[in-house]
C-alpha cells in the first residue's frame, strides 16, 4: 500500500487550489459569455499540452521559465479583457443592464453563431495551460522536495476535482446574469488576471502577492460601473445638439 504524506497532500491541495480557482474562473467566464464548446475545447487542449509537458520534462519542470509565459499570456488577456470591458460599458450605457437576459446571442457580433469560436478557445486554452503549468510545478517542487510525489499529485488532483465541481455547480447561476452585464464583469476579470500575470512576468511585486488579484478584479469592475455614468454624460451633448 502506498503511504500518504498528509502534510504534503494538504499543502499541495491548498497551493494548487489558488491556481485552479483562477483556471476555473476563466473557463466558466468564457463559457458563460462566449461558447461552452470553445471554452471546454480550449480547457481540454490546455490539459493535453500540460500532460505532454509533464510527461516530457518530469522533474525538470522546475526549470521552466515562468516569467516570459506569464508576460505573454497576461498581456494578451489584458488587451482582450479591456476590449470586453469597453464593449460592456458602451452597451450598458446605451441600453441598460437587463437586455439580453437568458438569450444566447444577444447583440453580440463578437461570438460567431455559425462557426467555432476560436477566440473563446484561445482564452480558455491560455488560462488552463498557464495555471496548469503552475500546478504541475507546485506538485514537482513540494512533492519532490519531501520525497512524496504521489501525495502531491493526489492533493493537486483533489483541488482540480473539487473546484471543477464548484464551477459546474455555479455556471447555471452565472448563465442567469444578463449577457451585457456579464460581458462587463468578465472583461474586468480577464483584465485583472492579465494585469496581475503580465506584471509578475516583468518582475512587478504586487502588494500582498495573490491578495492583489481580487483587489484588481474589484478595481476594474468598479471602474467599469463608474465609467457608465461618464459615458452617458459624454453622449448627452451630442443628443441635445441633434434635437
Question: Which residues does 61 contact at the CB level (< 8 Å), separation at least 6?
Answer: 53, 54, 133, 136, 137, 140
If binding is defined by CB under 8 A, does position 67 make contact with another protein? Answer: no
The 3-class secondary structure across 75-101, one letter per residue, is HHHHHHHHHHHHHHHHHHHHHCCCCCC
Residue 87 is a binding residue for another protein (CB under 8 A): yes
Integer Cα distance of 199 and 184 in angstroms:
22
Chain residues 101-140 in contact with another protein, contact rule CB under 8 A: 118-119, 122
d(CA 152, CA 111): 39
Distances (CA, A) of 93 to 80, 88, 221: 20, 8, 15
Q: Does 66 bind another protein (CB under 8 A)?
A: no
86 binds another protein, rule: CB under 8 A = yes
What is the closest distance, in whole angstroms, from the C-beta atom of residue 54 to another protein in the complex? 28
Is residue 212 involved in binding another protein (CB under 8 A)?
A: yes
- Where is 37: in which H helix or E strand? helix 36-57
Q: Is 230 in the site for another protein (CB under 8 A)?
A: yes
8 near another protein (CB under 8 A): no
Q: Interface residues with another protein (CB under 8 A)?
A: 71, 75-76, 78-80, 82-83, 85-87, 89-90, 93, 118-119, 122, 191, 195, 198-199, 202-207, 212, 216, 219-220, 223, 227, 230-231, 234-235, 237-238
Amino acid at each position: 500500500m502506498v503511504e500518504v504524506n498528509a502534510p504534503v497532500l494538504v499543502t499541495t491541495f491548498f497551493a494548487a487550489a489558488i491556481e485552479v480557482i483562477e483556471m476555473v474562473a476563466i473557463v466558466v467566464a468564457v463559457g458563460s459569455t462566449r461558447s461552452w464548446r470553445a471554452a471546454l475545447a480550449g480547457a481540454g487542449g490546455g490539459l493535453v499540452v500540460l500532460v505532454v509537458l509533464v510527461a516530457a520534462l518530469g522533474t525538470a519542470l522546475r526549470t521552466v521559465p515562468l516569467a516570459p509565459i506569464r508576460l505573454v499570456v497576461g498581456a494578451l488577456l489584458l488587451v482582450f479583457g479591456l476590449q470586453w470591458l469597453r464593449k460592456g460599458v458602451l452597451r450598458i450605457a446605451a441600453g441598460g443592464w437587463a437586455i439580453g437576459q437568458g438569450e444566447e446571442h444577444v447583440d453580440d457580433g463578437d461570438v460567431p453563431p455559425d462557426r467555432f469560436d476560436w477566440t473563446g478557445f484561445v482564452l480558455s486554452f491560455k488560462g488552463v495551460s498557464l495555471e496548469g503549468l503552475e500546478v504541475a510545478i507546485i506538485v514537482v517542487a513540494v512533492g519532490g522536495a519531501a520525497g512524496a510525489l504521489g501525495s502531491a499529485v493526489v492533493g493537486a488532483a483533489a483541488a482540480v476535482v473539487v473546484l471543477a465541481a464548484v464551477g459546474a455547480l455555479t455556471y447555471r447561476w452565472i448563465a442567469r446574469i444578463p449577457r451585457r452585464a456579464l460581458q462587463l464583469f468578465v472583461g474586468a476579470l480577464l483584465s485583472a488576471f492579465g494585469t496581475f500575470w503580465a506584471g509578475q512576468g516583468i518582475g512587478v511585486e504586487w502588494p500582498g502577492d495573490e491578495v492583489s488579484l481580487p483587489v484588481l478584479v474589484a478595481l476594474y469592475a468598479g471602474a467599469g460601473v463608474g465609467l457608465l455614468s461618464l459615458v452617458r454624460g459624454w453622449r448627452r451633448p451630442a443628443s441635445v445638439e441633434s434635437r
